[in-house]
Amino acid sequence: MKKNETTDATLVQLAKGGDEQAWRQLVKRYIRKIAGTVHRIYGSHTDSEDVIQEILIALAKSLPNYRGDASFSTYLYRLSINVTYRYIKRHKNRSLVCDAVEWSDDIPENYNQNVLSHIDALAAEEQDELVSRSLRNLSPLKRSALVLFEVENLTLKEIASLFKTPLQTIWSRVTSGKKELLQIYKNSGELS
Give residue limits of the domains in the chain.
1-93, 115-192
**DSSP H helical segments within 63-153, as ranges?**
72-90, 100-103, 115-136, 140-146
CATH of 1-93, one of 3.20.10.10, 2.30.30.40, 3.40.720.10, 1.10.1740.10: 1.10.1740.10
Q: What is the DSSP letter of 112?
A: T
CA distances from 157 to 50, 60, 90, 153 (A): 30, 27, 30, 11
CA dist 36 and 43 (Å) reads 10
Whether pTM > 0.85 for this model: the answer is: no
What pLDDT tens digit does each residue of the chain (192 aa) get? 555 568 999 999 999 988 889 999 999 999 888 888 887 777 666 678 888 889 999 999 999 988 888 889 888 988 888 888 888 778 765 544 333 333 334 434 443 344 344 444 545 555 666 677 778 788 888 888 888 888 778 888 888 888 888 999 999 999 998 888 888 877 776 554
**DSSP H helical segments within the chain, as ranges?**
8-16, 20-42, 45-62, 72-90, 100-103, 115-136, 140-146, 156-163, 167-188
**CATH class of domain segment(s) 115-192:** mainly alpha
CA dist 88 and 76 (Å) reads 18
